[in-house]
Structure 1
C-alpha cells in the first residue's frame, strides 16, 4: 500500500465551531449566533460565543499542528467576520485575523485550504431572504471576490461550499440546525438551485480575481452505500443506491447526484427531474452553464455508510446491520468500507481528483488520572478507514488527500459541546489543549506516509 510522496495529510475545522467571538472584533451576526439563543435548540444551552477561542489562540493551535506534522489545514472563513452585513463594508479586523492565520500557517510549513462557506450565513442576508433570494448568487460571488483579493497571493486551494445537503436539509427542511425552519418543499428546491448557482459564481469570481493560479473544489457529503459482497450485481446495486434521488418523504436533500451531477456533469439527474418535477423552480441553460464551472478537484465528507445487495426483484435492497454493530459516541455506525466504495463510485462517475474533506469519530474522551487522553477507539477507527483509502488508491482511484475531522474538540452544532471529535482535547473551562493519543498516532502515520498502517 502506497499513499505516495504528494498525498496531503490534513485536518479540518470550521469557523463558528472553534473561533469564538471577541468583544469589538467587528464581526456581524451569522445565523448560528442568533439560533443558539433560542431556548431548547442546542444541547444544554451551549453557544459558540467562546468555543475554542481560536480567534485569540490560533498561534497555539498552529504550533500543535506543526508538532503533529500536519501538512494541510482546511478551515472556513466566517462570511460575517469579514463582511458584517454580508455585503458592503469590509471588517478590517476580520481580514487581519485571517491574514495572520494564513501567515502563521505558512511560516510553520502548513498549507491553508480555505472553505468559503461552512454554514455561517450572515444574519443580515438571512433577513433579506438568504438562500431563497436569488440575489445571494451575486452576494456570494462578491464575497468570493474579496477572499480572492485579500488572500490568493498566498492561498491557492479553495472549497466553495461545505455539505449543502446539511445546511439546506437540516437548516430549512428538518429545522434542527440554524436557522431552524421547516420550509415548504418547493422553497427548499429553490434554495438548493440558488446554492449551486452561488457555487458557480464563487468559482468564477475566485478565478477572475486570484493573484496567481489557484485550484477550486467543492465539498458535499452523503451516506455511502457499499455492496454486501463483491458480486457484480451487488456492486451495481450499491452504485445505483449511492446515486439515487430519494423520495421526498425520506428527506430529499440527503443524496449525492442532485448536488454533484449539475456541478460536475452539467445537468441535474433525470431521476430527480422526474421525481421532483412539481417542486422545481425554472431552470435555464444559462443556470446550468454557471453551475458547471470547471473544477480542479472534488471533495467529499464521508463518515459512514450502509450495506446494499441486489434484491430478487432486480432493485437495490438494504441489508440490516449485524446485531451489536460498532458505533461511535454519536451512535453513527463504524463502516470503514465507505471510504473504499465511496471514493471508487465517485471517481468512476465524476472523473475528478478526490479529497476526503472530512472523516473522523466522536468518542467519550476524558482526561485520565495520568493527565493524558487515551482514545484507542479513535485510533482503531482511523486505522481501519485509512486502510480503505489506501486500498482505493492502490486500485487507481485518484485520491489526493485526507482531512481528519477534527483538529480539536469543538462546538458540534445542535449537540453543543457534548460530542468530541478532536485529535486534541479542549478543556472548555480553562481552554487548555491536550493532544490525545490519536493525535500522536496520526503524527506517526504522517511521518511514515501511511506505511505503518
Structure 2
C-alpha cells in the first residue's frame, strides 16, 4: 500500500514530525489533555484459539497444523507448544471477567476449526461447539460483543494432509465450516471475521517455512494466498445468503503494513513495491477491486480459474486491520520474492522483538484505505507490542513502554479519523501473555501477565491504563 506519490508524501510528513520533536504526539492535543473518540467507538481486545485455549486433546478436538509443527524439534523457541497455552478453555470465565472489569465491549476470539470439525469436514464435534456456545453466552452476560474469527492459523491437520491451502477444494470445506459455526452462534454473534492475516499464513507457512505447516517456495506461497482468498469469498457469500434478516456484519482481517524502501533510496523502491504487493495488496486488491496487483499479475494468472476473481470480490461490512510497524525493504537475491528487510530510519524506537515503533505508519495505512479503497468501515483488530516485562515495586508489571506504544498508535488513528478515515473501533492485541507462534512463550504482548506454572492472571499497568481509556472514551496525550 505504498505508491510512489504516497511514499513521498508520507516520508515528508514523517520528516516534518521528527523535526517537531515527537512523531504523533506533536500532532496531539496540548499536554495533559485527553483526545476523545466518537460516541459508540468500540473498545475491546483480540486473541486466537491456539495461542490461548490449550486443551488440545480434550472433548474431541482434532490435531491442528500447529500441534504438529510445535512438536517438531527446533521449530519453536525453547520447544514450547500450545498444549496448555493459557488454559483459556477451562478459565474463559475468569478471562471474560477481566475484559468486563476493564470495560471492554468487544472480544474478537477465533474458533478452532479442528475443535469443531476434527477431520476438517464431515462429522461435527458437538462438544467443541458447546465451548464456543458457553463463551458467547458468558460474553453477552457481561455486555461484551462476541466477534468470532473463523480461521486464525490452526488448520486441521487432516486437511493439511490433503494439501491444506494448496488444495482448491478447501475453499468449499471452509465455507461449509463457516456455515456450521454460524448456525450455532449466529443467533447471538453478529460480527463475523472470515480469516486472520491470510498473507502471513502464506508467506511464513507456505513460503518461508517458518510457521506451520512448514512448506517453502514462492509458488506455494502465492497458491496459498489465492486459495485463502477464494475460501474467504466463498464463505462471505455463503454467510451473506444464510444471514438474511439476522443482522450479521461480515468482514475479514488483514495485516496491512506500509512497505518503504530502505533509506528512501530509489534503488530500493522496486523491492518495497514487490513486498507491498505480496504482503498487502495480494489479499486486499482482489477483495476490494477484483484484481491482483500488477507486480504479481502473471503469477496469479496461472493460478486463477474463470470466475475466481468474481468469487473473491465480495461486499464487506467491515475490514479488520492488524498493524504493528512498517516494513523496510531492499533487494535481496536470496529472498522469497527478491526482497529483504533492512533497517528503519536511524533513531527509530524498537520493541523487544526488534520491530520498529512507527505509529504514523498506521495513519498512512488508514489514509491509503480512504484514498484508494473506498474508505471501508475499519476496526483496528490487532495492535500491541512485546516488551521485556519487569515486576515493579507494586508487585506487578509496570509496562510504560507498552502504554506509550498503544497511546501513540491510538493518537495516530485519531488524527487519521480527523482527516476522514472511517475507523469504528479498537481491539488491542492482546489480553493475555500467550503462545507467540515460533517465538513460544518468551514474547509478551498481553495486558495481563500469565504465570506459566500456575496460570494465575495478574493485570499489568497497561491493563489499568486501557481501562481508563475505555471509561473516558479518550486517550491521554502523555
TM-score, structure 1 normalization = 0.89
> How many angstroms apart in 2 are the aligned matches of 1:61 and 1:169?
32
- What does residue range 107-256 of structure 1 map to in structure 2 within 5 Å? 107-183=141-217, 185-210=218-243, 212-225=246-259, 244-246=273-275, 253=278, 255-256=279-280
Report how far residue 342 of structure 1 moved: 1.2
1:302 aligns with 2:323: yes
> How many angstroms apart in 1 are the aligned matches of 2:475 and 2:209?
44
Give the conservation status (yes or no) of the 8 Å contact 1:347–1:353: no
Superposed CA deviations along residues 323-377 of structure 1, whole A, max 9, x for unmatched, are: 4431101110111111111111122211211111110010111333532111011
Give the conservation status (yes or no) of the 8 Å contact 2:261–2:272: no
What is the aligned partner in structure 1 of residue 26 from structure 2?
Answer: none
1:350 aligns with 2:384: no
Unaligned segments of structure 1, at least 5 residues: 229-233, 309-317
What is the aligned partner in structure 2 of residue 264 from structure 1?
Answer: 288
- What does residue range 250-399 of structure 1 map to in structure 2 within 5 Å? 253=278, 255-273=279-297, 277=298, 280-305=301-326, 321-351=344-374, 352-399=376-423
> How many angstroms apart in 2 are the aligned matches of 1:242 and 1:114?
36
> How many angstroms apart in 2 are the aligned matches of 1:434 and 1:338?
31
Give the conservation status (yes or no) of the 8 Å contact 1:160–1:202: yes
What is the aligned partner in structure 2 of residue 313 from structure 1?
Answer: none
State which drifts further: 156-165 or 185-194: 185-194
- Secondary structure, aligned partner of 2:255: coil
- Secondary structure, aligned partner of 2:94: helix
Give the conservation status (yes or no) of the 8 Å contact 2:64–2:156: yes
Unaligned segments of structure 2, at least 5 residues: 1-34, 330-340
What is the aligned partner in structure 2 of residue 311 from structure 1?
Answer: none
Superposed CA deviations along residues 361-394 of structure 1, whole A, max 9, x for unmatched, are: 1011133353211101111111111110110111
Report how far residue 74 of structure 1 moved: 0.7
Report how far residue 283 of structure 1 moved: 2.0
> How many angstroms apart in 2 are the aligned matches of 1:366 and 1:283?
50
What is the aligned partner in structure 1 of residue 12 from structure 2?
Answer: none
State which drifts further: 380-389 or 366-375: 366-375
Cα separation, partners in 2 of 1:31 and 1:451, compared to 1, 3 Å: closer
2:441 is aligned, of 406, 417, 421, to 417
> How many angstroms apart in 2 are the aligned matches of 1:405 and 1:60?
18
> How many angstroms apart in 1 are the aligned matches of 2:202 and 2:83?
23
State which drifts further: 203-212 or 11-20: 203-212
- Secondary structure, aligned partner of 1:256: helix
Considering only aligned residues, what root-mean-square deviation do their CA atoms show, in Å?
2.3
Give the conservation status (yes or no) of the 8 Å contact 1:15–1:75: yes
The count of residues paired between Structure 1 and Structure 2 equals 426
Report how far residue 24 of structure 1 moved: 3.4
Give the conservation status (yes or no) of the 8 Å contact 2:430–2:446: yes
> How many angstroms apart in 2 are the aligned matches of 1:278 and 1:68?
47
What is the aligned partner in structure 2 of residue 77 from structure 1?
Answer: 111
**Consecutive aligned runs of 4 or more in structure 1 exceeding 4 Å deviation:** 225-228, 240-243
- What does residue range 97-108 of structure 1 map to in structure 2 within 5 Å? 97-108=131-142
1:68 aligns with 2:102: yes
